Structure 1
Amino acid sequence: MVEPIYKIAPRALWEAAKARGRFDGAPVDEADGYIHFSTGQQARETAARHFARQDDLLLIAVDPARLGEALRFEPSRGGALFPHLYGPLPLDAVLWVEDLPLGADGNHQFPGSVR
C-alpha cells in the first residue's frame, strides 16, 4: 500500500461530512478549489501553521490510491509537493480517523504511525 495522506479537520466539520456521505472540505478548501492534504512528513508543520492551539480536531488518514486522477501533488510551501484533491473526498477512501489532541506544550499530539 502507498503511504497515507492526511487531512486535519474540526470534529464538527467531519461529523457533518459523515452525515452527507462525503467530505467537501473546509472553507479554505472550497475557496481554493481543492481539498488540502499533507503527507506524513508535512502533517506536523501543517498543524503548527494552520491549526495552532486549536482543539477538537481530527486527523483523517486517506488512501491516496483510492482517489484516482482527482489527486494531484503540486508545489506549495517552499516548493514542496502537497497532495490536493480536486473533488469531494469519498468516505470509503478513509483509512482511519483519530483525535488530534493538544499536549501540555500546546502542540498537537500525533499518533506514532504518522512519520
Structure 2
Amino acid sequence: MKQISQSFKALLLVAAFSLPTMAFAAEPAMMKDGMMVDHKGMTLYTFDKDTGGTSVCTGECAKHWPPLKAEAGAKAEGKWTVVQRDDGTMQWAYDGKPLYYYDDDKKPGDKTGDMKNKVWHVLQGPKM
C-alpha cells in the first residue's frame, strides 16, 4: 500500500510541474498594465496590413518586427489561434491578429513601436 501511495504522490508532482507548461501552450501572452505582453513582459504588437489572420510581415519587415512564434503542435483556445507564415513557421495570433515583437524594445514594458508608421499598434486590453 505504501508503494502505491508514493507512486500516486509522484504522479501528482509530475502533474503539478506540467500545469505551467500546459497553461503557457494555451496562452503564450497576457494582459499587463493594459497591454499584451509575453511571459517575460515584452510588448506585443499588431500590424494593420495583416488581414484574415494572415501575416504579411515577412523578409526585412520580420527582421525588425519578429513574430511571436508558436512551437510545432502548440494548442490554441479561446481567442488564441496559431497561423502559418509564408516560410512555414507558426505564429501566435490573438482575436485573429498575428502578434509581433519590435526589435527596438530592449526591456520589459518598452513600447517604442506603438503607432510606428501609423500601422503598428500595441495590443490594448479592454478599457475599464
Q: Give the structure-2-normalised TM-score.
A: 0.27
Q: Larger RCO: Structure 1 or Structure 2 (Cα < 8 Å, ≥ 6 residues apart)?
A: 1
**Structure with max Cα Rg:** 2
- Greater strand proportion: 1
